[in-house]
Amino acid sequence: MHDPSTPACRIEMGLADTIQLAHGEGGRLMRQLIENRIAPLLSLDRSGLQSDAAVLGQLDGETVVTTDSFVVSPLFFPGGDIGSLAVHGTINDLAMAGATPTHLTLALILEEGFALQTLDRILNSIADAANHCGVSVVAGDTKVVPRGAADGIFINTTGIGVLQGDSRMRPDRIEASDQLIVSGPIGKHGLAVLSAREKFGFKPAPESDSAPLHQPAQDLRNQLDLDLHAMRDATRGGVAAVLHEWAEASGQTMWIDAAKVPVTANTHAIAELLGIDPLFVANEGTFLVAVHPDRCEAALDCLRSHSVSAQCCVIGHAQPRDVSAVLIRRGIGVDQPLDEPSGAMLPRIC
Amino acid sequence: MHDPSTPACRIEMGLADTIQLAHGEGGRLMRQLIENRIAPLLSLDRSGLQSDAAVLGQLDGETVVTTDSFVVSPLFFPGGDIGSLAVHGTINDLAMAGATPTHLTLALILEEGFALQTLDRILNSIADAANHCGVSVVAGDTKVVPRGAADGIFINTTGIGVLQGDSRMRPDRIEASDQLIVSGPIGKHGLAVLSAREKFGFKPAPESDSAPLHQPAQDLRNQLDLDLHAMRDATRGGVAAVLHEWAEASGQTMWIDAAKVPVTANTHAIAELLGIDPLFVANEGTFLVAVHPDRCEAALDCLRSHSVSAQCCVIGHAQPRDVSAVLIRRGIGVDQPLDEPSGAMLPRIC
């Protein structure tokens, strides 16, 4: 063994501990990376490794698919990391479409020089999140680009699930008088990532809401059936983006009461300081529901029975189309239009 | 209208013609990008756009899935581009697993400042390739990272297909005396990309073999059934990587005759000049087949009936395990071990 303090050894360790271009080129180093690091963590079996495709068997129902790339910066933040986020984000897209998530694929783009220890930490986080959600990672891909051609690691997850029931939730089914429910306090994810990236040092540090939503979503669907008109996780663009999508799809106006929108004291304080409206901030474990008014209480009861959505509440309703697609009642009872987010505020939050 | 020669207009045009961070943030600009550019080219319908997941319906058979990210540089090269490659590569992974490709998802990671015109060209290429292969692009995702955090565009495609028949091809089914067939001239893709990247200026410029292989693969499977023991496209690591994978999986030695390996005169000349062995160079439309010797002629006949594999030939056979996993007969009849590619020769060729 070399003395670890000698420069020669440090250089050798450096090479052995980081991603090399050769890790992405189909040869021995790539095989070792997959067999020794990725496969054991993700419980991939050898047969899956020896083929570039995975046989899932006959799926019991209509197949639903979704894809998402994750480029979040920084890679680790209070409440999650790029690995857990890549699992939750894709599972939530399936859940919102009314599907039970069953399988994930995982594609990594790695920058030359990326620390293998950091990769292990992210893979562990992916494995934990996938296990917790009961989905299998069934196929993967690894590409390596030279230093400077990517920023550390980008992850794509594609999710496959099975549709529950026959009805398809579509925001064009939203009717005037439908109640709008949000599943919990908003704005946490975007502020957590932004604060971690900019090292603002807030105490307590804002924490992401990153979490899987398939269980409350399934329960809602089972219990409310056709009275559940739309469900959507409020990711990029936040609650405001969902309300605008729904207004456009349904031809109704979405009306919300600012005083009823749940925001934690910490989020409120930080958002005020930064001059950001939490309605425009991304969430990764919070969703909106549009439900027939007669079933609103049932929907709330159902959501309250899951810890991830225990703090749900009604924030407004749909109403016949006004001049404005989305209205918000602020302060002294005046309804104002709520802008559609145009973007550019918080890059790389997922 | 501005006079296009004024600086003010040029600046305005510049902004309007390139990807902005806001294109990736869930707001109006992102919606416009998807609705006006991506959806029309890929024939996505509005319902697919309004949800983050696509319902594929009940798949008729066992589902097969594969995922691949594409980071090729340069984006355009003789014989293809990152768009067509992203379709062919994923379709070929499904085809090699014995599946009929049916659906693709498409996830883009774009660098701020990327030209929208270039994006359109790539999306057109994706649409053409997908149409040609009879697959639908059913779900998508777009992320934008700041200048310098990615190199132009990275594409992930995840492919979904349906398994043909019951048998699953696995390289561990390769037996001693199995014949090894290659579907056409090797080494074209890697040399085409390398030559384009380094601007070597060879005339004629080497051209990629990028092409979909699902039709010959399906035909082979239908006609040969259980006598077809393994199929694999020779991508990263080239033919050498496939032979090593098969040797390890089957416990046999793979023996090939260098004189029988098909290489075009152009590939031969360029590979010699660069000191590269075409056996280690990536292909994107060329595959290997291991078949029972009694059915070798039938396999060749089948392959010859498809233009993409018309120049197929037998290059060797499996034999009982030797000291070496892979042997190659060169020149005067001496068998030499063929190294396993370790990588690092040709980064970013797919």
Q: What average pLDDT does the segment B218-239 reach?
A: 93
Domain assignment present for residue B10? The answer is no
Distance from C-alpha of A235 to C-alpha of B34, rounded to nearest angstrom: 17
Mark whether A179 and A313 lie in a shared domain. yes
| CA-to-CA separations, B173 to A107, A214, B277, B298, in angstroms, rounded | 28, 40, 28, 19
Domain assignment present for residue B16? The answer is no
For B202-216, b/e burial (b = at least 16 CB within 10 A) is beebbbbbbbbbbbb
Predicted confidence band at B7 (pLDDT cuts at 50, 70, 90)?
Answer: very low
pLDDT at B265 over 90: yes
Q: Which residues of B touch A194 (CB under 8 A)?
A: none
Domain assignment present for residue B11? The answer is no
**What strands, in cross-sheet order, belong to the sheet with B287-291?**
B228-233, B287-291, B179-182, B313-319, B253-257, B326-330, B334-337
Least confident of A266-275, B37-46, B199-208, B280-289: B37-46
Q: Which pLDDT score is estimated for A7? A: 38
Domain assignment present for residue A219? The answer is yes
Domain final residue, candidates A163, A193, A214: A163
Mark whether B158 and B268 lie in a shared domain. no
Backbone angles phi, psi at A234, to 5 degrees: -95, 75
Q: Which residue has the tokens 């502020």?
A: A191
Q: What average pLDDT does the segment B188-203 reach?
A: 95
pLDDT in tens, B331-350: 888 999 999 887 656 788 89
Nearest to A26 by CA among B159, B289, B190: B190
pLDDT in tens, B24-43: 887 788 888 888 888 887 76
pLDDT at A9 over 50: no
Nearest to B29 by CA among A252, A274, A331, A345: A345
Domain assignment present for residue A134? The answer is yes
- pTM for the complete prediction? 0.92
Mark whether A214 and A147 lie in a shared domain. no
Chain-centre distance for alpha carbon A241: 15
pLDDT at B95 over 80: yes
Q: What is the CATH number of the domain that holds A291?
A: 3.90.650.10
Query: Does the beta-carbon distance from B56 to A67 stay under 8 Å?
Result: no
pLDDT at A2 over 70: no
Mark whether A159 and A177 lie in a shared domain. no
Mark whether A175 and A107 lie in a shared domain. no
Contacts of residue A322, Cβ cutoff 8 Å, sequence gap at least 6: A253
Domain assignment present for residue A1? The answer is no
Query: Does the beta-carbon distance from A21 to B282 stay under 8 Å?
Result: no
Mark whether A61 and A194 lie in a shared domain. no
pLDDT in tens, A186-231: 999 999 999 999 999 999 999 999 999 999 999 999 999 889 999 9
Peptide bond into A216 cis (omega under 30): no
Domain final residue, candidates A141, A163, A185: A163
Predicted confidence band at A39 (pLDDT cuts at 50, 70, 90)?
Answer: confident
Distance from C-alpha of A189 to C-alpha of A242, rounded to nearest angstrom: 16
ipTM over 0.90: yes
Q: Which of A67, A241, A341 sits opposite B105 (nearest CB)?
A: A67
Q: Which of B56, B69, B171 sits opposite A109 (nearest CB)?
A: B69
Return mean pLDDT, chain A: 90
Q: Which residues of A touch B250 (CB under 8 A)?
A: none
Q: Which pLDDT score is estimated for B12? A: 42
pLDDT at A303 over 80: yes
Q: Which pLDDT score is estimated for A44? A: 61
Query: Does the beta-carbon distance from B347 to A145 stay under 8 Å?
Result: yes
Domain assignment present for residue A47? The answer is yes
Q: What average pLDDT does the segment B222-236 reach?
A: 92
Three-state secondary structure call for residue A232:
strand
Q: Which pLDDT score is estimated for B44? A: 61
Mark whether B116 and B231 lie in a shared domain. no
Q: Which pLDDT score is estimated for B332? A: 81
Query: Does the beta-carbon distance from A25 to B58 stay under 8 Å?
Result: no
Nearest to B316 by CA among B246, B227, B268: B246
Query: Does the beta-carbon distance from B342 to A55 stay under 8 Å?
Result: no
pLDDT at A48 over 60: no
Find the DSSP H helices in B169-237: 188-198, 214-224
Distance from C-alpha of A306 to C-alpha of A312, rounded to nearest angstrom: 10
Give the DSSP H or E segment for A257: strand A253-257
Query: Does the beta-carbon distance from A55 to B94 stay under 8 Å?
Result: no
Q: Which of A27, A143, A237 sits opposite B340 (nearest CB)?
A: A27
Q: What average pLDDT does the segment B148-175 reach?
A: 89
Task: Please tell me the total number of residues recorded for chain B in this structure.
Answer: 350
Reduced to 3 DSSP states, what percent helix, strand and coil does chain B have, rounded to the nearest 5? 40, 25, 35
Classify residue B279 as left (phi > 0), alpha (psi -120 to 50) or beta: alpha
Domain final residue, candidates B100, B133, B163: B163
Mark whether B260 and B120 lie in a shared domain. no
Mark whether A60 and A80 lie in a shared domain. yes
Query: Does the beta-carbon distance from B241 to A342 stay under 8 Å?
Result: no
Q: What is the CATH number of the domain that holds B77?
A: 3.30.1330.10
Query: Does the beta-carbon distance from B93 to A170 stay under 8 Å?
Result: no
Q: Which of A25, A108, A161 sits opposite B236 (nearest CB)?
A: A25
Between strands A99-111 and A136-145, the pairing is: parallel
Q: Which residues of B touch A69 (CB under 8 A)?
A: 107-109, 141, 143, 156
pLDDT at B6 over 80: no
Chain-centre distance for alpha carbon A218: 17
Query: Does the beta-carbon distance from A63 to B66 stay under 8 Å?
Result: no
* Residue in chain B lying closest to A23 (CA): B343
Domain assignment present for residue A154? The answer is yes
Exposure of A240 by Cβ count < 10 A (0-12 exposed, 13-18 middle, 19+ buried)? buried
Query: Does the beta-carbon distance from B30 to A236 stay under 8 Å?
Result: yes
Predicted confidence band at A13 (pLDDT cuts at 50, 70, 90)?
Answer: very low
Q: Which pLDDT score is estimated for A30? A: 84
pLDDT in tens, B100-146: 999 999 999 999 999 999 999 999 999 999 999 999 999 899 999 99
Contacts of residue A118, Cβ cutoff 8 Å, sequence gap at least 6: A75, A152, A153
Q: Which pLDDT score is estimated for A4? A: 37
* Residue in chain B lying closest to A171 (CA): B50
* Residue in chain B lying closest to A159 (CA): B53
Query: Up-side HSE of residue A217: CA atoms within 13 Å toward CB?
Result: 27
Pick B65 or A38 by higher pLDDT. Answer: B65
Q: Which of B63, B135, B231 to mutate to test the interface with A (most CBs of A within 10 A)?
A: B63
Predicted confidence band at B1 (pLDDT cuts at 50, 70, 90)?
Answer: very low
Number of structural domains (chain B) is: 2
Backbone angles phi, psi at B63, to 5 degrees: -80, 135
Mark whether A51 and A154 lie in a shared domain. yes
Supply the range of the domain harboring residue A117. Answer: 21-163
Mark whether B328 and B205 lie in a shared domain. yes
Between strands A179-182 and A153-163, the pairing is: unpaired
Q: Which pLDDT score is estimated for B51? A: 61
Q: Which pLDDT score is estimated for B42? A: 74
Mark whether A136 and A284 lie in a shared domain. no
